[in-house]
Each structure stands twice: as structure tokens, then as C-alpha cells.
Amino acid sequence: MKHFICVTCGTQFAATETEPDGCPICLDERQYVGQGGQKWTTLDEYAKTHKNVFAEEETNLHTIHPQPKAGIGQRALLVRTKEGNVLWDCVPPLDEATITAVKKLGGLATIAVSHPHYYTTMVEWSHAFGKVPVHLHKLDAKWVMRPDDVVKFWEGDTKAILGGLTLVKTGGHFDGFQVLHWPAGAEGKGVLLSGDQPYVCVDRKWVSFMYSYPNLIPLGPDAIKQVVKSLKPLAFDRLYGAFPEQLVKTDAKGAVERSAARYLKMIGGA
């Protein structure tokens, strides 16, 4: 019995004797099956080829990024608080060196993941740190490919976790898409950890919003307006996206609102 992992998206599945028939997350129109067809790997195989690189982005915020690229290529972010550390989003590889490095930073008290593309090996991460809870929105429950008691579904629009951090359900890219608000970040001006939404553009004064990023399917006007409405009550000056160098360093809330207005104007949905 093995917990097979989809090579293309990095999602780990419940233990089986043989490889799954396919990956529902990649078969969905927001993702894709690799050009070479469905392929599988395992954590043991990742340990032979990958390592996780740590970096400090600002005080009490560290990133964990696999090298070479694993799955979609996102990074995980670790927020340190006096009440314990929060892992935001997950990356597929997890080995003893990574566990040791995280423990040196204070371990993990809880995990939260923005959306199904980054669920990856979240159950493995939880088990490695004492089976800490993994907080996901209930609207995305069907996308969990490895069910486990550590996965805790919540409902509604916001959920306070620990250390002053709050999960906010925005919808949009996925029905249960959530972001993490960290009020103490950016020297007390507030930080938004956004996963893929809002998505930091190459011109980092702007963000964007998509139903599918790889397949270039736009998000409709009602969904855009809902995302902006969900973020309106939050104070944040800085925004970290899912990939390295995705950072709106200052005036991030203004960037989100300006970007949404531009987007809506271009699609005639203002």
C-alpha cells in the first residue's frame, strides 16, 4: 500500500496497492494532465530528487520552496506567533531535513491551505508535527484525496485560528477558496497571504483573478466583486502570493481594489 502523489499537481492520495486511475484535481478544467499523461510518484521518490529551501521573508515569516520544482511549483509559508506556528499552503516534498528545520523554527501548531491545488501532502505534514489540525473550507471538501481526521472543515465567511490570524473565505477560483490575514505582519500594518487569489502580477503593483490560471479562463464579474467584498474589512499593506518573488510590498489593499476595478472595466463588468 502506497500513498501515491500526482506528479503534475503534487496531490497525495489515500493508500492503495496500485496507482489511482486518475487525478480528479488535474482532470478538472482549472488544472491539466501533463503532456506525457498521468504520472505518479511518492514521498520516498521525492526524497531522492528534491530538497526544500527555506528563506526568511520578514520577521516571523519564512518560506519553504522545493528545488527543483515539485507539482505546480508553489511555496509554503510559515508564520510564527506567540501561540504557535501556522503553515500556510503546502508543498509536496517532506523529508527529515525539512522536519528538523521546521522544528528549529518552533514546529507547527496548525495548517491551513488556500485551495485544492495546494493540498498536496498536507496530511503528511500534519502527522509529522503531532497531527496538528488542517483547516479547510467545507465547500472544497470533495477535493480532499486523502481523507484523515486531522482535516477540519469550517463553514461561513471567517475563522479565527491562532496568534491573531484569520481565515477568510473569498470564493472565486474555488468555491471554498480562503486567504490568511496576519494583522501583525509588515511591522503591524498587516499582511495578506493570498495563495493564487489575488494573484500577484509580474508588474507587482497589480494583481489579477482567474478561474483557471494554466488554461486562461477568466473569473466573472460577480466572483471578482465577491473577492473584493470579502477583503474589504481587512487591513493589509503587504501581500504574498504563492510563488517566489510574488510580493506586493506596500499599499497591497489599494493594489487589489485598483486591479479589480481595471479587470471589471476590461471585461465590461464594472
pTM for the structure as a whole:
0.97
Per-residue confidence at 42, pLDDT binned at 50, 70, 90?
Answer: very high
Q: What is the rounded CA–CA span in Å between residue 149 and residue 146? A: 10
pLDDT of residue 264: 96
CATH of the domain at 23: 3.60.15.10
Per-residue confidence at 269, pLDDT binned at 50, 70, 90?
Answer: confident
Per-residue confidence at 270, pLDDT binned at 50, 70, 90?
Answer: low
DSSP 128: H
pLDDT > 70: what percent of the chain? 100
Q: What is the rounded CA–CA span in Å between residue 60 and residue 62? A: 7
If one counts the domains in the chain, the total is 1
Domain with 204 in it: 5-266
DSSP 77: E
**Is the pLDDT at 10 greater than 70, yes or no?**
yes
Q: Give the total residue count for the chain.
A: 270
Across residues 186-211, what is the average pLDDT? 97
Q: What is the rounded CA–CA span in Å between residue 61 and residue 192? A: 12
Q: Tell me the pLDDT tens digit for each residue of 73-96.
A: 999 999 999 999 999 999 999 999
Q: Tell me the pLDDT tens digit for each residue of 204-262.
A: 999 999 999 999 999 999 999 999 999 999 999 999 999 999 999 999 999 999 999 99
Average pLDDT, the chain: 97
Q: What is the rounded CA–CA span in Å between residue 260 and residue 207? A: 8
Q: Tell me the pLDDT tens digit for each residue of 106-124.
A: 999 999 999 999 999 999 9
Across residues 141-145, what is the average pLDDT? 98
Q: What is the rounded CA–CA span in Å between residue 183 and residue 218? A: 30
pLDDT of residue 222: 96
